Structure 1
């Protein structure tokens, strides 16, 4: 027991609290936070939705729950790595000084490679995450444009439409280009905007989103022991 405690003290002193390893450990904790939060959010949602609305055997339903949870956790972990890594890289390249566009560029880069790129980019899990982020971004920008920072309670809303011909008259080639690049652009810009808003105007974001982003990204910078590096936050 004493040897285990001594080992823990050594790891904390020589690694976790060593300024030389601060930035790599921030990335490691960001990955951990993204994976944990993604699992916490997706598992209960997938469990309820699959058992209520999906057909199949018990084993097949468990596999669907596992796949959805794995993808959500993996995506948030990878985005946290790319976002925090991008911010740290840009800050280091700027002489240790953070600029306002760093979070925007890091969010744009992470949003594209995690949510806007590859065969899984338009999966239902990715679409739900990006649409959620986009909706919160629009609410935040609306508040930022017309109101001073303050309470962010959503009173109510209604959605609907009657369809139509659209505002743009595109030929077949142009439509194909829009179809090819619209989702990557949508995902990347949504994540770039929400990360910029979270960094500089967090009070404009919905409290639940702000809380989740604080858990994943802000708390990745803080720890003073092995316990709150691995298991819980400081």
Structure 2
């Protein structure tokens, strides 16, 4: 077994050396690996907690749900990283230089096909990125002096607007919110209105 592992390692190292000039292809393969690993690390614990806390069905159904969510997240992320890095490398190789707009074109194209399906995992990831993008764009606009840097603290107002808006939407138009957010907010803000005795007041929720 030890000899076989050594042989495999030698072959692997030879292949890395043999294709060293096609670094963008090797980087895409490594990106596929890292995307899958990162997707599993991120999604599996999250799915485990959410499915067992708020999900319905038997134990086996919950396990299947966790595995499905993890697989979807991990393989989508792996496919995206692989295709994005491959396309980015090809664009740079064909043009003979790197341009700052290449990442947008590569990610735009690959993102359409990988993250474009309207399902729970893709929706959550796209919304996660949207919030970070908006926050980053504001900071970039200040950095580039497109807008003036505020004199006073902004984050408290940012938090106030976010929480005021989401609770207004939840209380009045909850159907437009993502289902997982509806479930979480119902548990926090509506289920806390209901109890019949001390047991379901403190020990459990009904």
**8 A Cα contact 2:39 2:70, kept in partner:** yes
Listed as ranges, the gaps of 5+ residues in structure 1 are 149-153, 164-234
Say yes or no: does 1:27 pair with 2:28. yes
Root-mean-square deviation over aligned CA pairs: 2.3
Matched with 1:81 is 82
The whole-number CA distance in structure 1 between the counterparts of 2:66 and 2:4 is 41
Deviations 1:85-132 (A, max 9, x none): 11011101112x11111101011011111111xxxx111110000000
Alpha-carbon contact 2:24-2:85 (below 8 Å) kept: no
Q: Report if aligned partners of 2:47, 2:70 keep a CA contact under 8 Å in 1.
A: yes
- 1:51 paired to 2:87: no
Q: Distance in 1 between matches of 2:4 and 2:43?
A: 39
Call closer, same or farther: CA 1:24–1:51 in 2, change over 3 Å. same
> Is the 8 Å Cα contact of residues 51 and 61 (structure 1) preserved in structure 2?
yes
Q: Which residue pairs with 2:142 in the alignment?
A: 146
Q: Which residue is equivalent to 2:92?
A: 91
| Counterpart in the other structure of 2:6 | 5
- Please name the residue that 1:133 is paired with: 129
- CA displacement, residues 159-189 of structure 1 (integer Å, 9 cap, x when unaligned): 40768xxxxxxxxxxxxxxxxxxxxxxxxxx
Structure 2 unpaired stretches of 5+: 145-154, 170-206
1:70 aligns with 2:64: no
1:143–1:46 CA distance, 2 compared to 1 (3 A):
same
Q: How many residues align?
A: 153
- After superposition, residues 63-212 of structure 1 pair within 5 angstroms as 63-95=64-96, 97-116=97-116, 121-147=117-143, 157=159, 158-159=162-163, 160=165
In 2, are the aligned partners of 1:50 and 1:64 still within 8 Å (CA)? yes
SS at match of 1:122: coil
Q: Which has the higher contact order (CA 8 A, sep 6+)?
A: 1
Q: Which has the larger radius of gyration?
A: 2
4+ residue runs of structure 1 moved beyond 6 angstroms?
A: none
Give the structure-1-normalised TM-score. Answer: 0.60
Using structure 2 for the length normalisation, give the TM-score: 0.67
User: In structure 2, the residue corresponding to 1:109 is in which secondary structure?
Assistant: helix
Separation in structure 2 between the aligned mates of residue 143 and residue 23 of structure 1, nearest angstrom: 31
The verdict on how the C-alpha distance between 1:6 and 1:123 changes in structure 2, with shifts beyond 3 A counting, is closer
Deviates further, 3-12 or 64-73: 3-12
Task: Give the equivalent residue in structure 2 for 1:218.
Answer: none
